[in-house]
Amino acid sequence: MSAGPGRLRASAPLLALALLFAARFADALGGAVLAFRDAGYFFLPLRHVVAEALRSGELPLWNDFASAGRALAANPNGAVFWPLTPLLALLSPTALALVHAALAVLLLVLALRWAGLSPWAASAGGAVLLLSGAFQTLPILATTIASAAPLPLAAVALAGLDPSDARGARRRAAVAGLSLGVSLLGGEPVITAIGGAGALLLAAARGVLLLRSGERRGARGLAAWALAAVLLSVLVSSVQLLPALGELSRSARGEGLRPEEGALFWSVAPSRLLTLLEPRLTGDPFAERDEEYWGAGTFDAGNPYFYDLAVGLLPLALALSAGRDRRGRAALLLAGAGALLSLGRNLPFYEALGSVTSFARYPEKWWLLATYGLAAGAAVGAEAVLGGGDPEARRAARRRFGATCLVLAAPVLLLGLLAFLSPAVLRSVLWGLGLGTGPTPAPVVAGALVQPLVAASLSLVLCAALARRLSEGRLGERPVAVALAALFLLDGARRVAGSCPATPREALERRTPALEAVLAEMPRGRFHDDAADLAGVAVRRAREAGGLDPLRPVTGILFGVRYAGENDVDRMTSAGSFGSVKRLSALPWGEEKLARLVTQGVAVVRTPAGGAELPGTEEIRRDGGDRLVRVLATRPQALLVPSALAVGEGGSLDAVVRDPALALFTAAVELPGPGGERSYGTGRVETTGRTASRLSLRVTCEGASCLLVLARSFDPSFRAEVDGRAVPTVVADGFLTALEVPAGAHGVVLSYRNPLLLAGALATGAGLLVASALLLTARRR
């Protein structure tokens, strides 16, 4: 009879955490859409393509909607092999993002329980993560939150590796390998690498302790098991890792981004660590008035990667006071390493590191380790202050917590007093520290900060007083726990309010007249959004659209728009494609730009009003400060061209003619033999079947041979067959696809077959078998 209440008490912390999660994401749970920032113009459209493929029963191998076509399954951003991706056939991308967010919180709680914390302390750690600043950005970064979710299990597994316990070591190596491998399947390999580095750091710290105690054999055994975990993770993730490496090798990202665009971009400024005390020291990133976000000019791109680094002052105090516990020290080590490496280009050694890992972008991502470390440290600190154990140890923990609260209260109170007594001095201090720039008046700065700073300092003083009374036995643990929880929730609600905003579903489903006009042209070809890479134009278009611009690349995929000539924000398109787009965007609206668009099969263009009226185009409507222009004659999906400019291997494939009319009849193609003009026969092309990853044509060639040019990006995994016989494909016009067809009538089939997908799947299967064997043998007595 008593088992029921016991189970209820044990599950109460998780139930409370679930309620907190529901309150935090009430808008999205109520039907609103997470379409802010990267979600709206990158992840939502990508998830839409995957979902449509799954619902149609087709493998999501190729994305025909972006960049004149590009790999999908081989691109980690597609997260095709993530175990929860099939849910997209049933759930919306926002619903799946919420599942990922809940999973990230739950797996941290489970990891903390595995580390030996009580249910309520582990749930407290989950609550800290849920209301942390970095976590508020994660739901709009679909791959980041998926890859981050399993990382705590890997960290706890390697942190507790004991080589003298063979069964335990096998179990921990298997869990770590599975967690890191599945993390990479989430679609953000850099996050997996960061999490793996953090887990290995904890294992290395344990190895150092073994060496210091003279246990060299134990240290070697620990290193061997850690290496086994890494190798297992590589096997488990191979189905994504191998094709991703193939894509990376020929992508703009793989050929090396400039460090200032990738490996050094979005580095945390050292002074920004002060925002752990109060995140609004740089202003409000979601404010309607620019002057209320005075820190915008201090960030790359006018915004940070994570809008907020804080976890809350109370969790920070608990984490900092947890150093006497081995688990607390491990958490602080993790947090410190993450915080240090997030400084990126502000570190003397990081620039050299960035030149080697130029494909890995944004040092600020390392802050995820800091967030996880501080959340875990807060859980350890909470258990030390409010849990059971040795009475003297509890009193010492409470005294440390109280002292830490007072230490943190001092600078917060000082800043609060400056805001109240001398706003001009406060503004000078913040600007001098690099936390602000621009003309924001001192009263505006002080007005935004005085109340949260004073309230925070008083809360810390109150926490110190509660800790002292608790250590003296003048207050019980339960009322203190309730008071601390209330203070944490009040502060957390204030910090996360307005962050990760959800968009009403109706705004995302609204079809504007301009969108309808573009969709009407889609049977003829693709859409190009001219000047979309200009910040001023993009901001104007969003303003005119009332928030979400449905034609912005690649948001329109949600409605069925197929794009060409747009910038790939993740740089995973081929180097040829990226270079072609870069050259295209540098051209003004004119005949040469139009000719390049014709080669890509563009049928309609949105371009700023006031541009030239070009022959071969007609304006079909005005849309705010833009006009929609129909391209009267463009390349179809497949075209036989009567002439070609042949270039040798390594020659310039960007020799596109400058006359749009001639772009229909010629192409620059990489062909064997001498360069120069080549003539081909004419004929007819009929499409007999088409899916995203397969194109079937009936080609009639009238002449000795014909050159078939496709308005589709070149990919070596797209294999061509003429009457069932394999024929080579070549690069045309910089990054498109062409092949030679002999005289006569033929069936031509192009299908996507990436051998690295099969090899990766076999390796992943082997990895799962190894992991299963390790777990099964770990259970045997």
Residue 676 lies in a domain: yes
pLDDT bin (cut points 50, 70, 90) of residue 284 is: very high
What domain range includes position 107? 1-134
Residue 695 lies in a domain: yes
User: Of 92, 108, 134, which one is at a domain's C-terminal end?
Assistant: 134
SS3 state at 384? helix
- Does the pLDDT of residue 354 top 70, yes or no? no
- Number of domains forming the structure of the chain: 3
Residues forming beta bridges with residue 752, ordered by sequence position: 718
- pLDDT tens by residue, 162-208: 999 999 999 999 999 999 999 999 999 999 999 999 999 999 999 99
Write down the pLDDT at residue 259: 65
What is the DSSP-derived secondary structure letter of residue 407? Answer: H
Q: How would you class 511 by CB atoms within 10 Å of its CB: exposed for 0-12, middle for 13-18, buried for 19 or more?
A: exposed
Three state DSSP letters for 427-489: HHHHHHCCCCCCCCCHHHHHHHHHHHHHHHHHHHHHHHHHHHHHHCCCCCHHHHHHHHHHHHH
Residue 60 contacts residue 109 (beta carbons within 8 Å): no
pLDDT bin (cut points 50, 70, 90) of residue 8 is: low
Residue 424 lies in a domain: no
pLDDT bin (cut points 50, 70, 90) of residue 6 is: low
Residue 333 lies in a domain: no
Q: Are residues 665 and 606 in the same domain?
A: no
Q: Are residues 580 and 650 in the same domain?
A: no
- pLDDT tens by residue, 568-624: 777 788 888 988 898 899 999 999 999 999 999 999 999 999 888 999 999 999 999
> Which sign, positive or negative, has the C-alpha torsion 541, 543, 549, 552?
positive
Cα–Cα distance for residue pair 685/150, rounded to 1 Å? 50
Q: What percent of the chain has pLDDT over 70?
A: 95
pLDDT bin (cut points 50, 70, 90) of residue 436 is: very high
Residue 777 contacts residue 732 (beta carbons within 8 Å): no
Residue 702 lies in a domain: yes
- pLDDT tens by residue, 325-345: 999 999 999 999 999 999 999
User: Of 134, 149, 164, which one is at a domain's C-terminal end?
Assistant: 134
- pLDDT tens by residue, 721-773: 999 999 999 999 989 999 999 999 999 999 999 999 999 999 999 999 999 99
Residue 107 contacts residue 149 (beta carbons within 8 Å): yes
Cα–Cα distance for residue pair 599/735, rounded to 1 Å? 10
Q: Are residues 612 and 723 in the same domain?
A: no
Place of tokens 């600078």: 411
Write down the pLDDT at residue 495: 95
Q: Are residues 515 and 545 in the same domain?
A: yes
User: Of 86, 113, 134, which one is at a domain's C-terminal end?
Assistant: 134
Residue 334 contacts residue 373 (beta carbons within 8 Å): yes
Within 8 A by CB and 6+ apart from 603, the residues are 521, 522, 524, 525, 526, 527, 630, 631, 634
pLDDT bin (cut points 50, 70, 90) of residue 562 is: very high
Q: Are residues 653 and 612 in the same domain?
A: no
- Does the pLDDT of residue 2 top 70, yes or no? no
Q: Are residues 5 and 77 in the same domain?
A: yes
Q: Are residues 8 and 121 in the same domain?
A: yes
Of the given ranges (316-320, 442-446, 461-465, 731-735), which has the lowest mean pLDDT?
A: 731-735
pTM greater than 0.85: yes
- pLDDT tens by residue, 364-420: 999 999 999 999 999 999 999 998 778 899 999 999 999 999 999 999 999 999 999
Q: What is the mean pLDDT of the chain?
A: 93
Write down the pLDDT at residue 349: 81
Write down the pLDDT at residue 1: 43
pLDDT bin (cut points 50, 70, 90) of residue 626 is: very high
Residue 435 lies in a domain: no
Residue 726 contacts residue 749 (beta carbons within 8 Å): no
∠ CA(56), CA(61), CA(63), 5° rounding? Answer: 85
Residue 647 lies in a domain: yes
> Which sign, positive or negative, has the C-alpha torsion 462, 467, 469, 470?
positive
Q: Which helix (H) or strand (E) holds 529?
A: strand 526-529
Write the DSSP string, 715-745: -TTEEEEETTEEE--EEETTTEEEEEEEEEE
Residue 778, both tokens: 């770990």
Q: Maximum CA pair distance of the chain?
A: 99
- Does the pLDDT of residue 262 top 70, yes or no? no
Residues forming beta bridges with residue 720, ordered by sequence position: 727, 750
Q: Are residues 651 and 595 in the same domain?
A: no
Q: Are residues 595 and 654 in the same domain?
A: no
Q: Are residues 118 and 23 in the same domain?
A: yes
Chain centre distance of CA 384: 35
Residue 616 lies in a domain: yes
Q: Are residues 645 and 618 in the same domain?
A: no
Q: Are residues 614 and 702 in the same domain?
A: no
Q: Which amino acid is at 648?
A: G
pLDDT bin (cut points 50, 70, 90) of residue 781 is: low
Residue 602 contacts residue 518 (beta carbons within 8 Å): no
Place of tokens 């957390």: 492
